[in-house]
Amino acid sequence: MSKSKEKMHVDPYEKIYIYISIVVLIVFATAVTVAGFALGIQVPSPSQRVDPNTVAIEGPFSDPGLRELAPGKYELYIRAEAVPWRFYPDKVTVPAGSTVTFYVTSADVQHGFNLQNTNINFMVLPGQVSTLTYTFKEVGEYPFICTEYCGVGHQNMYGVITVE
């Protein structure tokens, strides 16, 4: 019998690990498939697209800020800009109990938006609008910061939402 026809020797412990690995892969592949197709859990996708070249000149982001839709219901448009590394606006005041839908975009490079002590935390990409809704039940100051390194003034990108 030639050597090549011999059955490959696999250590019994190694065999167990191979079987466990195969089972784990099948479980993960099934979990991802079920989450994606049966439960409809998808990675975030842009809710709106805008032209970063004109976003500061025309459209809602050219006049960013708070808009009252109904009593206690607001839309907040924020434009992030590198040079001079600012959020427009960077100071916003809303009454306690307000529900605010954030629309944030960038006029240039990639920024981030994290509203501290809330679940509002997303990337801000040129050409796309990031959006999330939050209800401010507690009175206080909610600082927000840029969470993506966007140039030498990155650390100057912050603001605050005051709930009173």
Residues that bind ligand CUA (CB under 6 A): 80, 111, 146, 148-150, 154, 157
CB of 147 to ligand CUA, least distance (A): 7
User: Distance between CA atoms of 68 and 70, rounded to whole angstroms?
Assistant: 6
- Computed from CA positions of residues 136, 122, 110, 56, in that sequence, does the dihedral angle turn out positive or negative? negative
CB of 65 to ligand CUA, least distance (A): 19
Nearer to ligand CUA by Cβ, of 125 and 161: the residue is 125
Nearer to ligand CUA by Cβ, of 50 and 82: the residue is 82
Nearer to ligand CUA by Cβ, of 17 and 149: the residue is 149
Nearer to ligand CUA by Cβ, of 92 and 104: the residue is 104
CB of 83 to ligand CUA, least distance (A): 10
CB of 86 to ligand CUA, least distance (A): 9
User: Distance between CA atoms of 129 and 61, rounded to whole angstroms?
Assistant: 10
